[in-house]
């Protein structure tokens, strides 16, 4: 975690194989790979993130 963002692991990430995605929610939603944090993150508008998560939940309950 860095001082600017409160990162948390996705509830769908499987901790046993270290293939995890971390998310920091705020004015923009930031997403990064836990194995490659040094490569940065992708930023999404909150509305796009909500739509993405909704679609995932509908597709794979």
Q: Could you tell me whether strands 21-24 and 42-44 are parallel, antiparallel, or unpaired per DSSP bridges?
A: unpaired
Please report the pLDDT score of residue 2 as a whole number: 56
In a domain, 2, yes or no: no
Q: Is the pTM of this model over 0.85?
A: no
- Which positions ≥6 away from 13 have C-beta within 8 Å? 19, 20, 21, 34
In a domain, 3, yes or no: no
- State which residues form the domain around 47: 8-59
**Better-predicted residue by pLDDT, 3 or 44:** 44
Please report the pLDDT score of residue 4 as a whole number: 77
Q: Is the dihedral of CA 10, 14, 15, 18 positive or negative?
A: negative
Q: How many domains does the chain have?
A: 1
């Amino acid at each position: 975690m860095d001082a600017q963002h409160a990162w948390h692991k996705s509830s769908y990430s499987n901790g046993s194989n270290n293939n995890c995605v971390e998310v920091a929610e705020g004015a923009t939603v930031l997403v990064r790979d836990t194995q490659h944090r040094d490569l940065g993150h992708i930023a999404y508008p909150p509305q796009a993130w909500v739509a993405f998560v909704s679609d995932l939940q509908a597709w794979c309950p």
